[in-house]
């Protein structure tokens, strides 16, 4: 119920409760064959295949008529129709099954009522065009034919969404947009190499499959750019050319979708490969900036702007680099000769960020002329100016407007919560941005001075780019309100990846270098950027969404075939699954990460994966068996001399597993070493140092003074980073109270926060709220303040005055009964207390094998025994108190909670009182009177009192009141 809060942290990371998936975006991935059917657009209907032929001077609106439904046959040739997928202007698209090749296909079927000769010819020509191109980024055509008067094309069934839908779902970072368009450009390049021009490229004709692959579809307007010999056809019919060679549409007839048409298409001229470059550039401009480059809601206005090259001003809030915008604008040139000569050149331009290359070249030039006096002077003046780009880069994701948006959202919180959160969030983001700018400037200046190689400079750039990406995601989550829980705002900032990691030269140079191919390298960088963003989502509590995103990225990594990236994705997935306590998924992902990292020499990833994996394996199965993997993890970190953070992680996790085996002394030694390594390492975030290493050692140490110091240090860090009200801080305070060894210190740690949890806790905090009041009641009883303990139990019942999740109803019922029973007990209401405690026992008893349930059951038995003793039934109290004593002793240090120690002492003292009371009566004796004579009962009572007194005397004065009450009673009983 609450015991998992007391387990050792596996890695120093704080486990965040999972939030529901953020609000669904405008388009969801559906199981359909896309791109050949109509798709809706945001802000007005997107053009469909019907718009390929322009029949009027005004662009279609949402009120444009749709084609009527058509009957679809049950079978098309050999294909068995499974269902309708969509419709376009020329036909319908169905899902079908090919029994010969045992696979599903998509079939485009010409509408029978539209089966004109030119439509049939166009459809057949589309099939010929697509079948000519076999490329991963082009939808594959399998078959074509005629059934009755209908023409059909059987093609690859792509499950996913269109590029248009993907772009409309949410604002995408420019590297993600560029990566997908590069894949589409590869498909178009393959078509051009085969002599084909698409002539109708648009986002609706690009499919994003569920496996991450991008495919260009719908070559219905494609034509051969150059003549191809067709000897067989010409020999058979000397006066007839192949359909594909016949353009059908003569010069002077508009073909294509107007918003994406090139100037030559608007003029009715022949459209060559350069026309596809233009249409592609229109679509890319739209994907990057969220608006199309040419205004106009009618054909005449649109054509006027296109033919004049009058491009709209891009929105100011889009963080698109200038070099990228310039590359797209070149593709939008009115003169085809001024555009990119082909897609290979365009892809190379999109894949290369010239800013970093320019910095390297300028740095090298400055060093080359450094011997000349004037050159040296110029270098000295130019270096700071050239290395000031970091501020502009950060301004794209964090500026005064972003801070204002976040403040506006935080204003939704109660005043007290806002006052605690806002300075930590806004100030933390600003400090992070400032640190990023300073690190970027230092890297640039160092490269210009020559103390950083190109390889190191590039590695630092990649490291800083990921942190800038994470910062941007944090700002978006906190400022735009797309799923972040404001209570987790401080955690989002505290868990941003440490910028100091970008200073570790040895570690950066030890990384596996990115792929040599520029386009692949860009795609890999895009995936890594999204990994950084998903880490931010997870820190905001959206673990379900983060895991779903990681699964999608894994598909992209597999398609890219770059194994080090696959290792990274699996490691990130393992981390999130571990925090979400999805042990099976965590074990699988971490095992895969270890294999892929080991195979590719990514030692840091392999070491971290193994360290986390051995903890997960111990948590799932056998801790002793998991310890056998210890040597693998330790051997890996030996290869990483500068990575004290990973050495600390390995020792911490091995220590946690050792504690599971019962080796608390060995666990303490290992975790102490881990803390020594982690304490001064700037790569370890303060929140992780506190919630992991400090709290772990505090739970394990035998020294009360050291324990208090460790807890105080951890709480100071957490309150500074997260605020006193954050759930992680609250749990740390609870852990400190549960190991306080002093009821007054426990009371001081719990009292104020307990009240706050009742009054202002979120709906899913009822378990923490219960635990606070549970421990607070114990502290008050040990302080001799039973009336206040009853009030604390009464207040704790209000923890459950909120919506309770279905899976929590049974434990909440048990916790409610326990609090009620203790409230009645402290108020002297014996019968009511007995009924509630019996109900708590009934619910918990079937789950006794779990030690944390056994711990609560021991508490129930202790309370019930005290009730019977105070109600004048000491003989009936003896079995209950004896059961509590045995349970507390059996659980012992396994709980890492002082309740087993002070609970045991309390049970011993109460049992001694019950035994003396029975001995004094001489009647109503226990079940075995032969062995339990009054003298024997008193001897046993004396032994129990000695044990309880020994605990109280060894507590350092914390239980002075309990000790005084016990010694006073013993004197009165002459025991």
What does the alpha-carbon distance between residue 469 and residue 482 come to, in Å, rounded to a whole number? 17
Please provide residue 495's backbone torsions phi and psi, each rounded to the nearest 5 degrees. Answer: -95, 5
- Based on the number of CB atoms within 10 Å of its own CB, is 220 exposed (0-12), middle (13-18) or buried (19 or more)? buried
- CA distances 869 to 841, 873, 918, Å, are 18, 5, 10
Nearest alpha carbon to residue 907 among 892, 889, 891? 889
Element (H, E) at 216: strand 214-216
Sequence-distant (6+) residues with CB within 8 A of 206 are 35, 162, 163, 164, 180, 184, 214, 215, 216, 217, 283
392 is catalytic: no
Q: Say how far apart CA 965 and CA 744 lie, in whole Å.
A: 16
CA distances from 364 to 357, 373, 447, 516, 654 (A): 11, 17, 9, 22, 48
Q: How far is the CA of 44 from the CAs of 89, 200, 208, in angstroms?
A: 18, 19, 22
Which residues, listed in sequence order, are joined to residue 95 by a DSSP beta bridge?
Answer: 83, 106
Stated as kind and residue range, the H or E segment containing 633 is: helix 630-638
- Rounded CA-CA distance 930/513 in Å is 81
Sequence-ordered list of residues with C-beta below 8 angstroms from that of 493, at least 6 positions apart, any chain: 424, 425, 428, 429, 432, 474
Catalytically annotated residue among 11, 98, 200, 688: 200
Residue 197 DSSP one-character state? E
CA gap 466, 384 in Å, rounded? 24
The secondary structure of 106-145, three-state, reads EEEEECHHHCCHHHHHHHHHHHHHHHCCCCCCECCEEEEE
Tokens of 53: 């032929």
In three-state form (DSSP H/G/I as H, E/B as E, the rest C), the secondary structure along 562-591 is: CHHHHHHHHHHHHHHHHHCCCHHHHHHHHH
Query: To 10 degrees, the CA torsion angle through 426, 431, 432, 438?
Result: 150
Element (H, E) at 546: helix 543-560
Greatest Cα-to-Cα distance within the chain, rounded to the nearest angstrom: 127
Q: For residue 893, which of 8, 91, 172 has the smallest C-alpha distance?
A: 8
| 61-70 LR contacts (CB < 8 Å, sep 24+) | 66/38, 67/111, 68/113, 70/111, 70/112, 70/113
Q: Which helix (H) or strand (E) holds 307?
A: helix 299-308
Q: Is 146 helix (H, G, I), strand (E, B) or coil?
A: strand
What residues act catalytically? 200
């Amino acid at each position: 119920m609450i015991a998992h809060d007391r387990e050792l942290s596996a890695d120093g990371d704080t486990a965040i409760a999972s939030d529901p998936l953020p609000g669904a975006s405008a388009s969801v991935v559906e199981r359909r064959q896309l791109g050949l059917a109509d798709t809706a657009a945001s802000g007005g209907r997107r053009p469909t295949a019907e718009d390929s032929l322009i029949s009027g001077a005004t662009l279609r609106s949402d009120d444009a008529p749709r084609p009527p439904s058509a009957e679809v046959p049950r079978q098309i040739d050999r294909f068995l129709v499974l269902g309708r997928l969509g419709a376009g202007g020329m036909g319908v698209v169905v899902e079908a099954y090919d029994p010969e090749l045992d696979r599903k296909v998509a079939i485009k079927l010409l509408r029978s009522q539209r089966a004109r000769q030119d439509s049939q010819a166009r459809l057949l020509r589309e099939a010929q065009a697509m079948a000519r191109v076999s490329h991963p980024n082009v939808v594959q055509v399998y078959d074509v034919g005629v059934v009755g008067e209908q023409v059909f094309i059987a093609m690859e069934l792509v499950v996913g969404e269109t590029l248009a839908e993907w772009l409309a779902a949410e604002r995408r970072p420019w590297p993600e947009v560029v990566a997908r368009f590069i894949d589409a450009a590869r498909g178009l390049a393959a078509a051009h190499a085969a002599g084909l021009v698409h002539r109708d490229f648009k986002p609706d004709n690009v499919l994003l499959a569920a496996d991450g692959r991008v495919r260009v579809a719908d070559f219905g307007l494609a034509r051969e750019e150059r003549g191809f010999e067709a000897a067989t056809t010409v020999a058979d019919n000397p006066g007839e050319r192949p359909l594909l060679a016949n353009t059908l549409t003569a010069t002077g007839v508009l073909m294509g979708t107007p918003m994406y048409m090139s100037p030559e298409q608007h003029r009715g001229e022949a459209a060559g490969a350069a026309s596809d470059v233009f249409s592609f550039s229109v679509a890319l401009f739209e994907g990057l900036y969220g608006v199309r480059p040419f205004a106009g809601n009618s054909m005449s206005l649109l054509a006027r702007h296109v033919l004049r090259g009058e491009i709209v001003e891009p929105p100011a809030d889009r963080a698109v680099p200038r070099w990228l915008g310039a590359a797209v604008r070149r593709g939008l040139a009115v003169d085809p000769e001024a555009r990119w000569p082909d897609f290979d050149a365009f892809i190379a331009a999109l894949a290369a960020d010239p800013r970093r290359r320019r910095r390297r070249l300028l740095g090298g030039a400055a060093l080359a002329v450094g011997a000349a006096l004037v050159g040296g002077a110029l270098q000295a003046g130019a270096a700071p100016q050239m290395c000031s780009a970091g501020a502009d880069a950060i301004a794209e994701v964090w500026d005064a407007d972003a801070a204002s948006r976040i403040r506006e959202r935080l204003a939704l919180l109660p005043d007290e919560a806002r006052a605690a959160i806002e300075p930590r969030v806004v100030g933390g983001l600003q400090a992070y941005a400032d640190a990023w700018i300073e690190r970027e400037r230092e890297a640039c200046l160092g490269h210009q001075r020559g103390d950083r190689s190109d390889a190191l400079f590039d590695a630092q750039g990649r490291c800083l780019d990921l942190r800038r990406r994470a910062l941007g995601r944090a700002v978006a989550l906190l400022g735009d309100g797309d799923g972040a829980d404001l209570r987790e705002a401080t955690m989002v900032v505290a868990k941003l990846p440490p910028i100091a990691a970008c200073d570790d030269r040895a570690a950066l140079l030890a990384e596996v270098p990115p792929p040599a191919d520029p386009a692949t390298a860009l795609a890999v960088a895009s995936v890594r950027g999204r990994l950084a963003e998903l880490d931010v989502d997870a820190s905001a509590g959206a673990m379900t969404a983060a895991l779903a995103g990681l699964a999608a990225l894994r598909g992209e990594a597999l398609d890219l075939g770059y194994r080090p990236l696959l290792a990274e994705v699996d490691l990130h997935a393992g981390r999130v699954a571990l925090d979400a306590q999805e042990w099976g998924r965590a074990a699988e992902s971490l095992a895969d990460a270890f294999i892929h990292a080991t195979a590719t020499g990514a030692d840091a990833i392999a070491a971290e994966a193994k360290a986390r994996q051995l903890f997960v394996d111990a948590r799932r199965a056998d801790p002793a068996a998991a310890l056998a993997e210890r040597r693998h993890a330790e051997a890996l970190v030996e290869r990483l001399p500068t990575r004290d953070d990973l050495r600390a992680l390995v020792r911490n996790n091995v220590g946690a597993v050792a504690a599971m085996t019962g080796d608390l002394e060995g666990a303490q030694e290992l975790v102490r070493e881990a803390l020594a390594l982690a304490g001064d390492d700037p790569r370890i975030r303060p929140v992780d140092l506190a919630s992991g290493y400090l709290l772990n050692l505090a739970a394990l140490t035998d020294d009360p003074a050291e324990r208090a110091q460790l807890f105080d240090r951890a709480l100071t860090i957490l309150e500074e980073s997260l605020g006193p009200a954050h759930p992680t801080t609250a749990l740390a305070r609870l852990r400190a109270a549960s190991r306080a060894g002093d009821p007054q210190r426990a009371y001081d740690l719990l009292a104020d926060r307990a009240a706050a949890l009742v009054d202002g806790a979120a709906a899913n905090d009822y378990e923490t709220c219960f635990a606070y009041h549970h421990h607070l009641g114990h502290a008050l009883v040990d302080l001799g303040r039973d009336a206040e303990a009853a009030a604390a139990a009464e207040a704790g019942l209000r923890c459950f005055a909120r919506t309770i999740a279905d899976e929590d109803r049974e434990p909440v019922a048990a916790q409610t009964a326990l609090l009620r029973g203790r409230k009645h007990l402290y108020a002297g209401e014996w019968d009511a207390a007995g009924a509630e405690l019996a109900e708590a026992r009934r619910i918990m008893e079937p789950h006794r094998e779990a030690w944390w349930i056994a711990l609560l059951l021991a508490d129930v038995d202790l309370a019930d025994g005290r009730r019977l003793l105070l109600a004048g039934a000491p003989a009936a109290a003896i079995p209950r108190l004896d059961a509590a004593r045995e349970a507390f002793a059996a659980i012992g240090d396994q709980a890492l909670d002082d309740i087993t120690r002070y609970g045991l002492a309390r049970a011993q003292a109460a049992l001694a009182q019950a035994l003396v009371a029975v001995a004094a009566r001489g009647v109503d004796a226990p079940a075995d009177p032969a062995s339990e004579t009054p003298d024997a009962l008193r001897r046993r009572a004396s032994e129990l009192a000695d044990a309880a007194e020994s605990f109280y005397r060894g507590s350092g004065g914390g239980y002075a009141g309990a000790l005084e009450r016990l010694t006073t009673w013993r004197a009165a009983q002459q025991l």
